A and B are shown apart, each in its own frame.
Chain A
């Protein structure tokens, strides 16, 4: 396999991986603060992508306006989902909470299918056509934009958790809910906010994906890719989710390409991520960036 085809596999992997990262970030935010394993993360991506599509194509709004409106819509949606659906199962056994999020994923997918149809849709991109050459491989402006945007989103995310009052409160709630309550933090509100944030980042991932390669209902399987990504990065690590997402994107793309060209085996893509997952879990059960609990009394 030539160097340039390897490089283009990597670039493609990074682009898809940055979408994984966004979805994984959302997943981790919900898991960290509320300990809910959200199986509907991929459907949140779907909702974001389709809403933005409807606004730009059906309502002819400029891309950035509909992007912003999508963010607001999805944030509100997340907030409402937490308040109406998940608030009722706080403290219930983990299995019933998982069933709730699975149910949520089915409902969301059905609604999206009913409202927007099942055809593949592409959001017309605001980014001009064209490419720059990187190491002899053309990388389109669209790809560059997606990568840059995800990077900015992740940095903004990190800054939010590090420096803002709300971000700190979310981290405190994640470490010790009761102690956070004792500090005067309205934990219920923090839960709702984390769902709102999770919906927004997934929607961003969805919109990016829809401008690159389009979306259809099948794209909700991105929600499953979140698992290797976050387990690779460590379930409770924001940085880990970001890195894990990109890594999974690259690895599955490269592995897929290699198996295709060297062994003529097709469809190794989805196996690769999970194979890697098994290896990582054997070596570092808490993920690459996950924390071992600080033990000290």
Chain B
């Protein structure tokens, strides 16, 4: 339903960050996007949600289609209206607004009061802790609660596709597990299509149906999550399972070298 075809993204008119990246997000599935720091994961999501403009970036080649429509250069608010929602890296909740006000902003484009109310209930059902703290200033929530608020806020727009950028960042293992469960439940119970960006490959591949590995602005590996979990490169590099004689660090280098020259 969401297709990225061979896109190039340039910042400040000369920094080329995505170099012909293609991927597909199937309707109703969870798609994972893996990669190291600076691989271009966040940039990919921003290209899809239309947020590059604020950073002087643009898609210079290729196209992005959603539900058959070319959205490559569509305004960000129209993409949200069409059902695409990004949960940005680092949560980016509105710190000096209350929890409930944050949720209301999530439903900004929805004019129907009843829909807003029922979505808010839905968000509170998924995240009961937010209900308890509804009138608190969001900036004083804990990191985990802020992540939940960021996801809850995204639900308020009634999206079809939710793009999560490193939801596990900075969370304790227990909370990562909790987020993991929530992502799965949203997918199963609400039929949400999910594009999940992660450094934590173990978490991502545990919930995803399909995965892409990004490096240096390109897709270097893709496949069913089940297969990726058993792929040797992914295992050594991302899952830290490379217990061979070369040790982890050099295997990382080996991996990089191989990908660059092959």
Contact = CB atoms under 8 A, between A and B. Distances in A.
B170 A297 contact: yes
A270 B49 CA distance: 51
Contact of A182 (B75, B88, B170): B88
A168 interface: yes
A172 B97 contact: yes
Interface string B187-222: 000000000000000000000000000000000000
A175 interface: yes
Given A183-B80, A297-B143, A175 B96 contact: yes
Interface residues of B, number: 33
B interface, over-half SS: mixed
A291 B97 CA distance: 13
B105 A185 contact: yes
Contact of B157 (A176, A181, A184): A184
A181 B49 CA distance: 9
Given A168-B104, A169-B105, A296-B140, A181 B77 contact: yes
Interface in A273-297: 291, 294, 296-297
A124 B158 CA distance: 54
A140 interface: no
B178 interface: no
B144 interface: no
Interface in B19-57: 49-51, 54-56
Given A186-B75, A296-B139, A178 B92 contact: yes
Interface string B86-124: 101000111111000100111011000000000000000
Nearest to A185: B108
A179 B138 CA distance: 14
A183 B153 contact: yes
Contact of B86 (A171, A180, A182): A182
B1 interface: no
Contacts of A175: 94-97
B81 interface: yes
Contacts of B157: 183-184
Nearest to B143: A297
B140 A294 contact: yes
A130 interface: no
Contacts of B104: 165, 168
Contact of A184 (B101, B109, B143): B109
A172 B94 contact: yes
A interface, over-half SS: helix
Interface string A26-60: 00000000000000000000000000000000000
Given A178-B51, A294-B139, A184 B80 contact: yes
Interface in A141-189: 165, 168-169, 171-172, 175-186
A91 interface: yes
B48 to A, nearest CB: 11
Of listed A177, A183, A294, residue having the most chain B CB within 10 A: A183
B7 interface: no
Contacts of A178: 51, 54-55, 88, 92
B76 interface: yes
B56 A294 contact: no
A180 B157 CA distance: 13
A183 B80 CA distance: 7
Contacts of B105: 168-169, 172, 180, 183, 185
Nearest to B92: A179
Contacts of B106: 183
Nearest to B50: A181
Contacts of B81: 184
Contacts of B77: 181, 184-186
A176 B108 CA distance: 15
Given A172-B97, A184-B76, A294-B140, A179 B88 contact: yes
Given A294-B95, A297-B170, A165 B108 contact: yes
A230 B77 CA distance: 33
B192 to A, nearest CB: 17
Contacts of A291: 96
Of listed A175, A176, A184, A185, residue having the most chain B CB within 10 A: A184
Interface string B152-163: 010001000000
A91 B55 CA distance: 9
Contacts of B97: 168, 171-172, 175
B139 A181 contact: no
Contacts of B93: 179
Given A168-B97, A172-B94, A176-B92, A182 B49 contact: yes
A181 B95 contact: no
A185 B50 CA distance: 12
Closest 4 CB pairs of A and B: A184-B80, A294-B139, A179-B92, A184-B109
Interface of B: 49-51, 54-56, 75-77, 80-81, 85-86, 88, 92-97, 101, 104-106, 108-109, 137, 139-140, 143, 153, 157, 170
14 contacts: A169-B108, A176-B94, A176-B95, A179-B92, A181-B50, A182-B51, A182-B86, A183-B106, A184-B108, A184-B157, A185-B77, A186-B75, A294-B95, A296-B139
